[in-house]
Amino acid sequence: MKRIINTPNAPAAIGPYSQAVEANGTLYISGQLPINPSVGKIEAEDITGQTKQVLANIGAILKEAGYTYADVVKTTVFMADLADFAAMNEVYKTAYQTECPARSTFAVKALPMGALVEIETVAVK
């Protein structure tokens, strides 16, 4: 059985997808952009601010679904420029300090809305 997760504390989907879907004890969170959900746009201009917003969005979805960062088993990070990797990683590690999830990071040609970073997440209970 699947459950659709939606919270106003994270950006609304900008296409035909859900913020997250839970199925059989696994939560699949769609790639989160650095959109501030209260204004509906990207406010931060640098990778540090954008990564903080992405993690806040992921945290809001985790909370809505009854999960925490400790339940995260895999993330995929998409970046517009891998030169920003170290700065992104400094912010990223504030969410995952012990028993870090598996992670892949990819450079992409472009991200929606001109974002510098997008992160998708899988969590398991």
pLDDT tier at 95 (50, 70, 90 boundaries)?
Answer: very high
Average pLDDT, the chain: 97
**Mean pLDDT, rounded, for 30-38:** 98
Angstrom CA distances, 124 to 18, 19, 27, 36, 93, stand at: 18, 16, 6, 26, 19
pLDDT for position 49: 98
pLDDT digits (tens, 9 = 90+) for 13-26: 888 999 999 999 99
CATH number of 2-124, picked from 1.10.1060.10, 3.30.1330.40, 3.40.50.300, 3.40.640.10: 3.30.1330.40
- Segments making up each domain of the chain, as ranges: 2-124
For residue 21, the cross-strand partners are 4, 28
